[in-house]
Amino acid sequence: MVGATFLWSIAGVVTRQIEHARSFELTFWRSLFTVLSLLVLLPAWRGRGALRPLVSGGRSLWLSGLCWSVMFTAFMVGITLMSVANVLVTMACGPLLTAVVAWIFIGHRIAARTWVAIALAGLGIAWMFGTQVRDVPLAGTLVALCIPLAAAVNWTVVQHAQSQGESVDLMPAVLIGAALSALATLPFAWPFAASTHDLALLALLGLVQLAIPCLLVVQSGRVLKAPEMALLGLLEVIFGILLAWWGAGERPGPAVLTGGALVIGALVFNEWLAWREQAWTR
């Protein structure tokens, strides 16, 4: 799981090395290379039936895939509009937004500790963007917020499907998401400007930053509990900010550090208490 978070975190620093491709073209190539990678990796890992869920998966699988496509697209567009740190800290709100969306739509109860964490994380996000209102474009903020919102809808769809006895396979959903992202961004990516250097880096992102980490997370989920995975998943934010600082010179400002500390602190506190509660019930 730590390895997966590190591989996820390279997106920002690698994207900053791109020479010519921009915005939607970045998204198109990364998503396309993710599709090609998964079409090879999934059958190699699971055998000939690996792609069968694409036909028999049902509505929930495709809804999940649509959410993945929004996340893939919004992330790449977001980091072309503002700093990697801003996007990553905004993404970190995903687990708390998931709790709210699941509460609204499928009636999941939210513990008092989670309400406190949601309030603190909201304060952190408001501080981060409010103090940078002149430096961070509104479009970038709205695009970045699409990432945790789509993640929240995704996991709510998956949880609801499981409660109805319908299993949603993560890997085919990711494949669908990458394919939808590539198709949706193709018209806006044309005419292509990517150099050979750019294509090599975007192929690296498709394979190493998306396809392989998704396989690692599926394996990790068979051993680790949800609070453990949520806590370890926060390493992506830390790794990503440090790599962008070291490899692209994106030094996070005081507002990002303060707001990010509130968001991550709230998540750690909430997941640690959930972990303790599980230990006590055992």
Residue 161 in this model has a pLDDT that exceeds 90: no
Region 107-134: mean pLDDT is: 78
Q: What is the total count of domains within the chain? A: 1
pLDDT digits (tens, 9 = 90+) for 15-46: 999 999 888 999 999 999 999 999 999 998 88
With a cut of 60, say whether residue 133 has pLDDT above it.
no
How many degrees, rounded to 5, is the angle at CA 118 between CA 113 and CA 121? Answer: 125
- Alpha-carbon separation of residue 192 from 21, 27, 113, 244 (angstroms): 7, 12, 49, 26
Average pLDDT over residues 156-180: 85
Distance between CA atoms of 274 and 227, rounded to whole angstroms?
A: 7
Query: What percentage of the chain reaches a pLDDT higher than 90?
Result: 35
Count of other CB atoms within 10 angstroms of residue 255? 19
How far is residue 14's CA from residue 24's CA, in Å, rounded to a whole number? 16
The whole-model pTM stands at 0.86
Quote the percentage of the chain above a pLDDT of 70: 95
pLDDT on residue 134: 62
Kind plus residue range of the DSSP H or E element containing 220: helix 212-221
Tokens 């010519």 map to which residue? 20
Closest CA to 156 of 109, 108, 102: 102
- The residue-averaged pLDDT of 199-225 equals 89
Q: What is the pLDDT of residues 222-247, one digit of tens each?
A: 787 766 777 788 888 889 989 999 99
pLDDT above 90 (res 55) = no
Burial of 46 (0-12, 13-18, 19+ CB in 10 A): middle
The H or E element that residue 92 is part of is none
Report whether pLDDT(264) > 90. no
pLDDT above 90 (res 71)? yes
Q: What is the number of helices (H) and of strands (E) in the chain?
A: 14, 0
Average pLDDT, the chain: 86
Higher per-residue confidence, 164 vs 199? 199
Among the listed residues 99, 94, 84, the one whose alpha carbon sits nearest the alpha carbon of residue 140: 84
**Which pLDDT score, from 0 to 100, does residue 281 have?**
64
Q: What would the pLDDT profile of 77-107 be if each residue is shown by its tens digit? A: 999 988 898 898 888 888 888 888 888 888 8
Residue labelled with tokens 């991550």: 264
Hey, how many other C-beta atoms are within 10 angstroms of the C-beta on 276?
11
Burial of residue 56, with CB atoms counted within 10 A of its CB: 0-12 exposed, 13-18 middle, 19 or more buried: exposed
**Domain span at 15:** 2-281
Would you state the pLDDT for residue 254?
A: 84
Residue-level pLDDT at 17: 94
**Which whole number is the average pLDDT over 203-231?**
84
- Give yes or no for residue 191 having a pLDDT over 80: yes
